Amino acid sequence: MSFKEIKSTLDNMDEQSRLSSAHDIMDDSRKNVKALCKKIINAHEKKLNEIARVKKLYEFDKQFGNIIIAGVDEVGRGPLAGPIVGAAVVLELNIKDDLDLILGINDSKKLSHKKREELSKIIKEKALAFEIAALDNNEIDSKGISWCNNEIFKIAVSKLKVKPELVISDGYAVKGLGIKNHYIVKGDAQSASIACASIIAKVYRDNLMCEYAENYQGYGFESNVGYGSKDHIDAIKKFGTTPIHRMSFLKNIL
């Protein structure tokens, strides 16, 4: 068979048959055939490693017992403009088939924009429940960022259609939740539920800031998403503030 025929045949196989065939023809003397087989085998090994990594995230959450768990996380605590956004996610943790795992989940900051967008859709499809809550810059200025940070978690959890018995949060406890809470340092890199909350919260806020960029041009919200980048600070000094700026965050700039 020619290389083109081999590639076409392998491409039309199911994953397991493709892997088995790649091993069978690995001894082919042609370099391009060897390279194709190696690519297939390496891709399979990479997938197995990813399954093992994500299983650990699920197992981390399962350690708390056979109960309904919601993971919460926030994005937008530090920007100079825009809201703070929090999310709560309840996952099915008792996975019997690897196909039901949400592969790729991680701390949202470690993922590309494209990957976060893809995962956000999958999370929303596979989660037992999810909610997103946001408080704008006016609330942040009047109530303080710490109060708002805590409040968005309370709002998101209270709206969940599946009521959790435990809420796990990233970094610190949620006050006044009325539900048992356990917090984990760097939880978005250890917990499947927190990682998922991190991803959908960031995607929601990033998209919102892109919408704001259309209304308030020149501030670079589509790229800096409200954080204090040089171009953003220069724009504030040149054009002044917008209705979405956090005035309490700008005392050292204005």
The total number of residues written for the chain in this structure? 254
Compute φ and ψ for 204, nearest 5 degrees.
-60, -50
- CA dist 208 and 211 (Å) reads 5
234 a known binding residue? no
CB 166 within 8 Å of CB 67:
yes
Residues 6+ apart with CB under 8 A from 66: 94
- And the tokens for 97? 């088939």
CB 181 within 8 Å of CB 94:
no
The closest of 93, 57, 89, 52 to 73, measured between CA atoms, is 89
73 a known binding residue? yes
5 a known binding residue? no
Q: Which residues pair with 103 in a beta bridge?
A: none
How many other β-carbons are positioned within 10 Å of the β-carbon of residue 201? Answer: 29
Which residues are documented as binding site for a divalent metal cation? 73-74, 170
Q: Which residues are annotated as a binding site?
A: 73-74, 170
